[in-house]
Amino acid sequence: MLEIEILETNLIEGGVEVFARAFNDAGQIGFGKDGSVDIERFRIFNPPVLVPDPVGDIVREEYDEKIDANVFDFLREDPEEALLQTLEHTIKTVGKSGDNIIAGKIGNTTSTFYTTSGDGEVRNQDTGWSTTHDAVTGTLALPVNTRQIVGSYINGTTFIIYRAFLPFDTSAINDSDVIDSAVLSIYPSDIWDNDNDGDDFIVAVDTTQPSTTTLTTADFDLCGDAVSNPTEGSNQRDFTGMSTGSYNNFTLDAVGRGWISKTGVSKLGLREGHDVKNSAVNVTGDTAVRFYTSEEAGTTRDPKLVVEHSVGAVSQPARQGAVMMM
């Protein structure tokens, strides 16, 4: 069980700021590069206010092309629960052993950025793997559905390649800050692993689409710095280690952290291993992941980027607050 002690909550431009301690079954959780931070300053931008609820009064309808039918999603508005769910995932992402905690120390700032618009998928469908893979322009751009796909598909001689675009406005990070860690997270609803040959993985790349608010078919070849073997900026997540119904994390390495903008929008993307290696899938069906995007607006399943960055001194919170149990 995770216990969160919220000391102070403030509204900030574009979001909310929370000072908090955290505890798990092993004791207090430390923060910062060396785990010495006692009280962490969490900032959440474009924070969610909706949480899944099977009897919720907010209903969203989406056409599911895989089953050729409409599906329904039920949610409820609960900003407090949404905040706690966000903090829980963030703490589990950046928290460290509490062995080095210095009482009262406020160190790094952990900022969580949710996508707003411009995220989604650009796909290309054609006959033959090479023709599909090497195309400059895709056949469909889907920034408007609640769920998008990254991966590959084959049925006979027909191939589809799906590439995902995930822009985050990270301009709230101070120009002088040092980015210590960054984790990109998506929330899958479906995973299809038909071609489980070792190339069935997802990895983060950078993107260069002209607009960060609208995707077009012309963006198909702009997901990664190369069509084949693009520079990878995170760990590879094999499909067998991914799960639906929870966030799946991609930890950015030094290259990936270098893609984070302190003055504007960080343009990140995801590609599937066969697409990355230019290695054709050869088992009928999808080798792909479908995940929620910002069109599922304001929910605790939107794509998110958690960035831990070093800042100057922050004043000690003046108020003591409630202990929140997760």
Question: Are 228 and 248 members of one domain?
Answer: yes
Among 8-17, 27-36, 38-47, 289-298, the minimum mean pLDDT is found in 289-298
Mean pLDDT across 6-27: 96
177 lies in a domain? yes
Helices (H) and strands (E) in the chain, counts: 4, 21
Question: Are 12 and 129 members of one domain?
Answer: no
Count CB neighbours of 251 within 10 A: 18
Tokens, residue 216? 């077009």
Q: CA of 52: how far to CAs of 20, 147, 154, 246, in Å?
A: 25, 15, 33, 12
Question: Are 127 and 105 members of one domain?
Answer: no
Given a contact cutoff of 8 angstroms between Cβ atoms, the answer to whether 326 and 2 are in contact is yes
Question: Are 284 and 315 members of one domain?
Answer: no
- When the pLDDT of each residue in the chain is averaged and rounded to a whole number, the result is 92
Question: Residue 38: is its pLDDT beyond 80?
Answer: yes
Question: Are 130 and 87 members of one domain?
Answer: no
Given a contact cutoff of 8 angstroms between Cβ atoms, the answer to whether 254 and 176 are in contact is no
d(C-alpha 305, C-alpha 95), whole Å = 15
Q: CA of 93: how far to CAs of 41, 303, 308, in Å?
A: 15, 14, 10
Residue that has been written with the tokens 């505890």 in this structure: 23
326 lies in a domain? no
Q: Report the chain's terminal Cα–Cα distance, integer Å.
A: 6
Question: Are 132 and 92 members of one domain?
Answer: no
44 lies in a domain? yes
Question: Are 124 and 235 members of one domain?
Answer: yes
Question: Are 169 and 288 members of one domain?
Answer: yes
Quote the pLDDT of residue 294: 82
325 lies in a domain? no
d(C-alpha 8, C-alpha 38), whole Å = 14
| Residue 37, domain extent | 3-113+309-320
Quote the pLDDT of residue 318: 47
SS3 of 125, please? strand
104 lies in a domain? yes
d(C-alpha 148, C-alpha 108), whole Å = 33
Residues 204-237 have pLDDT tens digits of: 999 999 999 999 999 999 999 999 999 999 999 9
- How many percent of the chain have pLDDT more than 90? 83
Query: Considering the entire predicted model, what is its pTM?
Result: 0.92
Given a contact cutoff of 8 angstroms between Cβ atoms, the answer to whether 184 and 230 are in contact is no
Question: Are 149 and 297 members of one domain?
Answer: yes
Residues 153-210 have pLDDT tens digits of: 999 999 999 999 999 999 999 999 999 999 999 999 999 999 999 999 999 999 999 9
Tokens, residue 226? 């190369």
Residue 241: exposure state from Cβ atoms within 10 A (0-12, 13-18, ≥19) = exposed
Quote the pLDDT of residue 144: 60
Question: Are 77 and 122 members of one domain?
Answer: no
d(C-alpha 278, C-alpha 75), whole Å = 40
Question: Are 62 and 123 members of one domain?
Answer: no
Quote the pLDDT of residue 166: 96
Q: CA of 311: how far to CAs of 32, 251, 266, 321, in Å?
A: 11, 21, 19, 24
152 lies in a domain? yes
Considering its fold, how many domains does the chain have in total?
Answer: 2
Residues 77-135 have pLDDT tens digits of: 999 999 999 999 999 999 999 999 999 999 779 999 998 778 999 999 999 999 999 99
d(C-alpha 131, C-alpha 125), whole Å = 9
Question: Are 73 and 86 members of one domain?
Answer: yes
